[in-house]
Chains A and B, each alone.
Chain A
Amino acid sequence: MSETFRLEELDGKIALVTFDLPDKKVNTLGQSSLRELAGLVAKLAQRTDLRGLLFQSGKPGQFVAGADLNDLAMLAVITPEQATGALAAGHQIYNQISNLPFPTVALIDGNCLGGGTELVLSMDDRIASDASHTAIGLPETKVGLIPGWGGTQRLPRLIGLNPAIEMITSGEPANAQKAAALGLVFDAVPADRLVEEGRRRIESLQKTGEWKDRREQLRKGLGLDQDQMMFAFAVAEGFVKQKTKGQYPAPLVALKAIREGCNLPLDEGLKAEQKAVGELVGSPILGNLIAIFFMKNRLTRDPGVSDPSIQPRQIHSIGVLGTGLMGAGIATAHARSGIRTAMVDIDDDRLKDGLQRASDVVMSRIRIGRATPEDMAKMLAMLNTSTNPSVFADADLIVEAITENEDAKKEAFRKIAQVMKPEAILASNTSTISITRLAESTPHPDRFVGMHFFNPVDRMELVEVIRGEKTSDETVATVVALAKKIRKTPIVVRDCAGFLVNRVLFPYMNEAQVLLREGVSMEAIDRASTRFGMPMGPITLTDLVGLATTVYAGKVVGAAYPDRSVESPILLEMLQTSGGGKSAMRFYNAPKAKGSRPEPNPAALEIIQKHQAGGQPMDEPEITDRLFLPMLLEATRVLEEGIVREPGDVDMGLILGIGFPPFRGGILRWADTVGAQNLVDKLSKYAHLGKRFEPTESLRKLARDGGSFYPRPKQDAS
């Protein structure tokens, strides 16, 4: 038998169990570890001689990460009955733990999540290490599930209805101090005192006999009256619905489990929970959310290149040229992660603005409690500014983030080449210009790469890493590793107009303009998009991106794909009338009062009307088709051309880059849900619109073969 759970006996008849999954970095609760735990618990149940049990993790700074990922994936494809069976083992063991004939105390240092939290909830008490890496939570609703090993029942009984509702529906973990304030743990103490404090807690539980009363108390219902219940759930449901827009069922199902179980005895409450889990398993939304979880996991491990011998270079310091919104954002992201950063622009005023932007980022995080004044000091200590590019001399990598002008960029590269280390990597944050072409103006095209951040840099976690024709594997691997180091999610993309995200977004934005000309109102277009799940509609997005940028980017991408792009005379005339920049005309006026709907701008309406060519009224499903089918076709072309390596890259790029609705799993996963043949049929309805709606070869093939972009999940629940 392997040593997943080590049992030792401390002085005074205290059992100390150490959970240490062999050959793994973190502890998870899979089928085999649960079996072993069951065996151990059965033995301990006979030990009436013990005074108490302490439970800890053998992984430094990692307690229990939750259920095993493969077990989690299975939940997407099994039936409710199978789910109940699969969850039964966990329930049984946790119930046995809560009945051991002596007090039990968990010693938590590091992440304690999901099934790990449910495990410690089955014990009599918990003590957390006060280290900043301690996080105790039930994140299940974030992946479309609810806690299924008693979390929805034991947590409210322990910390009270409302804190439990908040933790479970938000999925946000509590740090040690918050956990102590909530009564989720007895105390927060330094990690090296955990065992000692655990022993003291066992003694106090024994001395007062309190552990027996606590068990009895926790087995009862909460005893809330009707007003307390009705009010709490009315408010919580309202809040959850507002947050999820009705698109994510899990938090509401969790609320239902809590509502139906919290006033009942625990064992009946646990049944309410199991019934609720059954509502979620096997649903497409759960499948999509779990898939995203795995795609994200894959990207965090992906080195960005297929050759395993390639090692990323160490990057100790970087340079950023340009202190605008993007440049300052990129510099701040690096400086915040402890990488020495030199920011260069042409005059002191611009440097001042750049520094201001950098400190604004940290200030806004301090305001919401996500950073401390020390973080500000550390960031500023890492950030150096100059008007002289010679400060780039010791940079391992230099990112260019100046205006989108090819000549200006080439000129900048020539200047940087004169001062930089010969082996340094040069990167461009361009969103539209060919990386292969820009590489020609640099001394070492193999060490030139696109590093495309999204706005606002501090909040958007996607970075497109664009490899030009000559970019080397080492360069790609280095930039991928660097992006991860600054807590971004990199996706490697081959050079093409628009790269991944903007290329796939373009046909959708393009079609929105076509629809305007066909007489569909801007509100109807945006509504169809947000009902589909997008965070905002394409017309609102145009206002956000800015008129001049939209027109310019549209020209570049449109020129590259002329067979399927339509120039928008509306955008052109709006730009001609108002110019770009701050005075640029918007489709919507800013809302008059906070919370009220933005009204269409009459000046824009006038221009739209001028270019309208009649048209029939269009219902919402048709508008949705018109917007998203061209986006899908472009996504299939990106795959066909090998711009990215797998469907998951496209879907994650869209989810992270433009907020494509996670519950749909991405555009390709959405396509799989609809079915290739259905999509081809839908497209034939729009054949008269030309190339924009012509099925691509890969889509036709999938329709013929009954295939899908992603392999179909196996229906194996054994």
Chain B
Amino acid sequence: MSQAVIIDAIRTPIARASSDKGYYRHIRADDLSAHVIRSLVERTGVDRNAIEDVRWGCVQQQGEQGFDIGRIAAMIAGLPKETAGVTINRNCASSLSAINEAAMSIAAGCEDVQIAGGVEHMDHIPMSKDYSPSPSLFRRHSEAVMNMGLTAEYLAMKYRIPRGKQDEFALRSHQLAAEANDGGAYTREIVPTWGHDEAGHKDLQTKDQGFRRDTSLEALGSLAPAFQPEGGSVTAGNSSQVSVGSAAVLLMSEERAKELGLRPLAKVRAMAVAGVNPEEMGIGPVPAVHKALKRSGLSLDQIECIEINEAFAVQVLSVLKLLGIDEKRVNTRGGAIAIGHPLGATGARLVTTLLHRMLDQGARLGLATLCVGQGQGVATILESCA
């Protein structure tokens, strides 16, 4: 079996999904995808003719995200006609699945050099646009499992995580994201991307848009519960933001990297997916991480850097509680509460941030994991090649 390695990983600044203020209000999801693919090819210097497939995560595959945006973005990006393209949907973990599937393809001796990543334009194509669930789904599950906020409230009740703790975690996310953006920690992973600032000027954007430097526990504490008006604890402030963004990773086998003269950053050491009850979809990472650890023969305390998607503060705190993870190893450059959660792009965004964190910290092992709506978890363990 061939070992999959990652050559490089980049992302766009993550923008707010706002039709009057978001950076990408005038930029399409397919063009944004192509921009990040093109940038990755240019920066790595990989021979574009060597790229066999593009695996692209995207949840709402309609409109400008329709008709296999993976293939379309590859064509817009100027990849050769021989490069194939596929679009992958595992809701919030779509692009982590794209990366994992690319690694599996390499291991299986199928397509080798691949770009995996994803995109989501949650302003142009809203999250639940045109979705209509089957009543049969609700024989066993409340219709409210489709409302992620209510599943988060359920975690707050079940794992007893009070509002105050959630707000503290949200504040931490904003502070760390601000520090990372302002202090240059993100410089290597963010590719400057054309977009409109809030005043309407078109410019190359280099920083994430959603984090708030000036937020405080008081400000967060004053927000009303967003999903459960009576007695709820989950607010817009301690939930992830709806966003627009794209991220991409270049993968290939160790051997191919040598042939092409490319220096890998990390190996894909282990991967896993797992299902849980949709009622508590947020704890999905727990069984997924256990599975990935078992497959890698590693234990959790060997993992120095951890990126967990912040769908909701309460959801991250529940996962940390169940896995027994100390907050210090987690999301040290902020997370989706501050930066945003462009669904189809987030998995690749986490891997991108994780890789550059590992590099900066000189860490050997890192873990990226996400919870998934309707009850799944996905986890990937990376091992540094440095």
Interface of A toward B, CB cutoff 8 Å: 159-163, 165-166, 181-183, 222, 224-225, 227-228, 230-232, 234-236, 238, 241-242, 595-596
The answer to whether A163 and B279 have CB atoms under 8 Å apart is no
Q: A231-B144, A231-B279 are in contact. Are A160 and B154 (CB under 8 A)?
A: no
A105 vs B140: C-alpha distance when bound (angstroms) = 25
B residues 279-313 in Cβ contact with A at 8 Å: 279-280
Q: A160-B136, A182-B135, A234-B157 are in contact. Are A241 and B230 (CB under 8 A)?
A: yes
- Kindly list chain A residues whose C-beta atoms are within 8 Å of the C-beta of B154: 227, 230-231, 234
CB of B230 within 8 A of CB of A238, answer yes
Of A165, A227, A242, the residue contacting B279 (CB under 8 A) is A227
Which residues of B from 123 to 152 have beta carbons under 8 Å from A?
134-136, 138-145, 150-151
- In Å, the complex CA distance between A295 and B141 comes to 40
Beta-carbon contact of B280 and A227 below 8 Å: yes
Chain A nearest Cβ from B205, distance in angstroms: 29
- Please determine whether A235 and B144 come into contact, CB atoms closer than 8 angstroms: yes
Contact B141 A232 (CB under 8 A): yes
Residues of A contacting B136 in the complex (Cβ-Cβ under 8 angstroms): 160, 183
| Listed A/B pairs (21) with beta-carbon separation below 8 Å | A160-B135, A161-B138, A162-B141, A162-B142, A183-B136, A224-B140, A227-B154, A227-B277, A227-B279, A228-B277, A230-B154, A230-B279, A231-B144, A231-B154, A231-B277, A232-B142, A232-B144, A234-B154, A238-B228, A238-B230, A595-B229
Say how far B168's CB is from chain A's closest CB, in angstroms. 24
Given A227-B279, A596-B224, A161 and B157 contact (CB-CB distance below 8 Å): no
Q: Enumerate chain B residues within 8 angstroms of A224, measured Cβ to Cβ.
A: 140
Identify A160's interface contact among B140, B150, B157, B279, CB under 8 A: B140
Residues of A within 8 A of B143 (CB): 162, 166
Q: Which of B142, B144, B230 has the most CB of A within 10 A?
A: B142
Q: Is the CB of B138 within 8 A of A162?
A: yes
B239: shortest Cβ distance to chain A, in Å?
A: 16
Ordered nearest first, which 9 A-B pairs have the shortest CB separation?
A160-B139, A231-B279, A232-B142, A162-B138, A235-B144, A227-B277, A227-B279, A162-B142, A182-B135
A231 to chain B, nearest CB (A): 4
A680→B115 CA distance, assembly (Å): 84
For residue B158, CB closer than 8 A to chain A, the reply is: yes
- Given A160-B136, A162-B141 in contact, is the A228-B279 Cβ separation under 8 Å? yes
CA distance A604 to B11 in the complex (A): 55
Which of B135, B141, B145 interacts with A159 by CB under 8 Å?
A: B135
Could you list 19 further interchain pairs (A-B, Cβ under 8 angstroms) beyond the known A163-B139, A235-B144?
A159-B135, A160-B136, A161-B138, A161-B142, A163-B135, A181-B135, A227-B154, A228-B141, A228-B277, A230-B154, A230-B158, A231-B141, A231-B142, A232-B141, A232-B144, A236-B142, A238-B230, A595-B224, A595-B229
Chain A residue numbers with a CB within 8 Å of B224 are: 595-596
B-chain residues with CB within 8 Å of residue A595 when the two chains form the complex: 224, 229
The complex places the Cα of A487 from the Cα of B45 at a distance, in Å, of 74
Q: List the A side residues contacting B150 at CB < 8 Å.
A: 235
**In the docked arrangement, what's the CA distance between A241 and B150, Å?**
16
Interface size on B, residues (CB 8 A): 23
Using CB atoms, name the residue of chain B closest to A178: B135
Report the Cα distance A83→B280, complex, angstroms. Answer: 40
Measured CA separation A13–B135 after assembly (Å) = 36
CB distance A160 to B138 under 8 Å?
yes
In the complex, what residue of chain B is closest to A235 when comparing beta carbons?
A: B144
Asked if A161 and B277 make an inter-chain contact with CB atoms under 8 angstroms apart, the answer reads no
Q: Which residues of B contact A241 (CB under 8 A)?
A: 230
Q: Which residues of B contact A228 (CB under 8 A)?
A: 140-142, 277, 279
- Nearest-Cβ distance from residue A214 to partner chain B, whole angstroms: 15
Among residues of B, the one whose C-beta sits closest to the C-beta of A239 is B144
Chain A CB within 10 Å, residue with most, of B144, B151, B157: B144
Q: Once the chains bind, are B140 and A242 in contact (CB under 8 Å)?
A: no
CA of A166 to CA of B279 in the docked complex: distance in angstroms? 18
Among B135, B157, B229, contact of A242 (Cβ-Cβ < 8 Å): B229
Query: Per-residue CB proximity of B214-229 to A under 8 Å, as 1/0?
Result: 0000000000100011
Which residues of chain A have C-beta atoms less than 8 A from B280's C-beta?
A: 227, 231
Q: A231 — nearest CB in chain B belongs to which residue?
A: B279
CB nearest to B139 among chain A residues:
A160
B381 CB to nearest A CB, Å: 28
Specify which chain A residues have a CB less than 8 angstroms from the CB of B138 in the assembled complex.
160-163
A161–B145 CB distance below 8 A: no
CB distance from A605 to the nearest CB of B (A): 24
Which residues on A sit within 8 Å (CB–CB) of B277?
225, 227-228, 231
Kindly list chain A residues whose C-beta atoms are within 8 Å of the C-beta of B158. Answer: 227, 230
The distance from the CB of B219 to the nearest CB of chain A, in whole angstroms, is 15
- The docked-state distance in angstroms from the alpha carbon of A222 to that of B138 is 12
Write out the residue numbers on chain B whose beta carbons fall within 8 Å of the beta carbon of A236.
Answer: 142
- Cα A165 to Cα B140 with chains together (Å): 11
Within 8 A of A (CB), among B327-361: none
- CB-nearest residue of chain A relative to B134? A181
Across the interface, do A162 and B139 meet the contact criterion of CB distance under 8 Å?
Answer: yes
Interface string of B148-167 (1 = CB under 8 A from A): 00110010011000000000
Per the bound structure, the CA–CA distance linking A241 and B231 in Å amounts to 12
Interface residues in B235-279 (C-beta closer than 8 Å to A): 277, 279
Chain A residues contacting B135 (CB-CB under 8 Å) are 159-160, 163, 181-183
A227 neighbours in B (Cβ, 8 Å): 154, 158, 277, 279-280
Closest CB in chain B relative to A14 CB, distance in Å: 30
Closest residue of chain B to A222 (Cβ to Cβ) is B140
The answer for the CA separation of A235 and B147 in the assembled complex, in Å, is: 11
Nearest CB on B from A158, distance (A)? 10
CB-CB under 8 A for A235 and B139, given A227-B277, A230-B158, A242-B230: no
B140 near A231 with CB under 8 A, answer no
In B157-202, the 8 Å CB interface with A consists of 157-158
Write the chain B residue with the least CB distance to A166. B143
Please name all residues of chain A whose beta carbon is closer than 8 Å to the beta carbon of B157 when the two chains form the complex: 234
Output the nearest chain A residue to B147 by Cβ-Cβ distance: A235
Most A CB within 10 A of own CB, among B134, B145, B277, B279: B279
How distant is the Cα of A165 from the Cα of B141 in the complex, in angstroms?
11
Inter-chain CA distance A384–B189, complex, in Å, is: 67
- Bound-complex Cα distance A236 to B145 (A): 12
Please indicate the chain B residues that have their CB under 8 angstroms from the CB of A230 in the complex.
154, 158, 279
Which of B140, B142, B230 is close to A235, meaning CB atoms less than 8 Å apart? Answer: B142
Question: With the chains together, A224 CA to B134 CA distance in Å?
Answer: 19
CB distance from A539 to the nearest CB of B (A): 23
For A231, A236, A238, A241, which residue has the most chain B Cβ atoms within 10 angstroms?
A: A231
Cα distance A181–B134 when bound, in Å? 8
Q: Report the nearest A residue to B224, measured CB to CB.
A: A595
Residue of A nearest to B228 (CB): A238
**What separation, in Å, do the CA atoms of A234 and B158 have in the docked complex?**
11
The closest CB in chain A to the CB of B277 belongs to A227
Cα–Cα, bound, A162→B143 (Å) = 7
Closest CB in chain A relative to B57 CB, distance in Å: 28
Query: Which residue among B134, B140, B224 has the maximum number of chain A CB atoms within 10 Å of its CB?
Result: B140
- The answer to whether A231 and B139 touch across the interface, beta carbons within 8 angstroms, is no
Question: A222 to B142, alpha carbons, bound, how many Å?
Answer: 14
> A596 CA to B224 CA in the complex, in Å?
9
Q: How far is the CB of B371 from chain A (nearest CB, A)?
A: 14
Contact of A231 with B145 in the complex, beta carbons under 8 Å: yes
Given A227-B277, A227-B279, A231-B154, is A159 in contact with B139 using a C-beta cutoff of 8 Å? yes
Contacts of A234 in B (CB 8 A): 154, 157
How close is A163's CB to chain B, nearest CB, in angstroms? 5
Chain B residues in 8 Å Cβ range of A225: 277
Tell me the complex Cα distance, A639–B157, Å. 53
Q: In whole angstroms, how far apart are the Cα atoms of A181 and B141 in the complex? A: 16
User: B157: nearest residue on chain A (CB-CB)?
Assistant: A234
In the complex, how many angstroms separate the beta carbon of A317 from the nearest chain B beta carbon?
43
